[in-house]
Amino acid sequence: MEAPAVSISRDLLAAQSERLVGLDPLLPRVHALPPGDVVTAGLSDGRLVAGVLLRSENGPGMVPSLWSARQAHEMFPLVGDAGPEGVDALLRVWRQRLERLGPPNPDSSCVVTWPSRDATVTRVLLDHGLVPLSVLAVRLAPPPAAMTVPDGLLIRRATPADLDAVHGLAMAELRYSALVGGAMVRPDAGSLKRGMLRSRLLAGDPVWLAEREGVTVAMAECGWSDPDPDSWAVRLPPGRWAYVNCVSVLPGARGRGVGRQLMDAVHTRLATTGAAGTYLYYNPPNPLSSVFWPRQGYRPLWTVWEVRPADALR
């Protein structure tokens, strides 16, 4: 027999999906619950809301440690149509639960992912000390009109022989992102990035380079995603999506249209595959990407809210 808390959670999930799709039709309907601990909170009118708590450890040698705290606590709110009141009640319960666990790892975080267009809940998350460190943004626009590539700029697919250049640009992007977002330059960051990029290049994944006079000045590391509509972690509508994992332009080449021309070419080529759209993550505090990606036609779908360390949750 299903536990009462789980049964309540399923009902809340169905009502919540209905409310959120009304706010943003691009949001997928979620039908499955995460495999975590269920907590509940009471509202002023006697209703209950629930949240599923997950904890992950991102130790040395793990790629997620490059963008996550070593110890990440995550909550999936299930508030039905209660909206901000429900999320506020759950965050209070979560805070109390964390206090009972004792002092957290200094390299820890609390994370909540929530639809970007739900402004009423945005206020609640801010009040509890969470920060919008990243957004999942989507682009459905047709490919841009053909534009003239700047003189001397060559755009081509990367090969395994380009590993050193791709790795150097990826590390430059990581170091910059660590200044303006949630990225972390761990002691093993260089080897983790290199191993991941080597595998992707050997697999023939879609990675493009921009070169000027034989020197690589920018790269776009991309890939493919096929969201499982039956997964609790689904974030995108059904279909095959292209994703942009990393775009990096050498500092000396910025401000000359290199990044724009590179992504115009990338979007055009990705569109020929029949992808439903393109998505990526960027950091709102980043003064470059927060301007560049909206100009490329991307708009936020989900916002990842985070506070570090975990006991800074209010």
* Residues of the chain below pLDDT 50: 1-2
Domain 4-137+306-312, CATH class in plain words: alpha beta
Amino acid residing at 80: G
Backbone dihedral region for residue 59 (phi beyond 0: left; psi -120 to 50: alpha; all else: beta): beta
> Residue length, the chain?
314
CA distance 115 to 121: 9
Q: Prior bond to 309 cis, omega within 30?
A: yes
Instruction: Please report the pLDDT score of residue 286 as a whole number.
Output: 97
Q: What are phi and psi of 9, to 5 degrees?
A: -60, -40
pLDDT tens string 254-270: 988 999 999 999 999 99
Please work out, in degrees rounded to the nearest 5, the angle formed at the alpha carbon of residue 75 by the alpha carbons of 290 and 10: 115
* pLDDT, tens digit, 9 for 90 and up, residues 199-225: 999 999 999 999 999 999 999 999 999
pTM of the entire predicted model:
0.94
Phi/psi of residue 304, nearest 5 degrees? -95, 110
DSSP 95: H
Residue 1: per-residue pLDDT = 40
pLDDT at 282: 98
Task: Give, as one character, the DSSP assignment of residue 151.
Answer: T
Write out the residue limits of the CATH 3.40.630.30 domain(s) in the chain: 153-296
Q: Closest Cα partner for 279 from 227, 241, 249, 234? A: 241
Tokens of 97: 């639960």
3-class SS shares of the chain: helix, strand, coil, % to 5: 35, 30, 35
Q: What is the pLDDT of residue 4?
A: 65
Asked if residue 183 lies in contact with residue 66, where contact means CB atoms within 8 angstroms, the answer is: yes
H or E stretch covering 252 = none
Tokens in use for 143? 């490919």
Residue 307 confidence (pLDDT): 98
Pick from 13, 123, 105: which is nearest to 55 by CA?
A: 105
Question: Which pLDDT belongs to residue 48?
Answer: 97
Q: C-alpha angle 197/262/290, rounded to 5°?
A: 85
Domain 153-296: top CATH class: alpha beta
Q: In angstroms, rounded to a whole number, what is the distance separating the alpha carbons of residues 24 and 17?
A: 10
Assigned token pair, 132: 């919008």
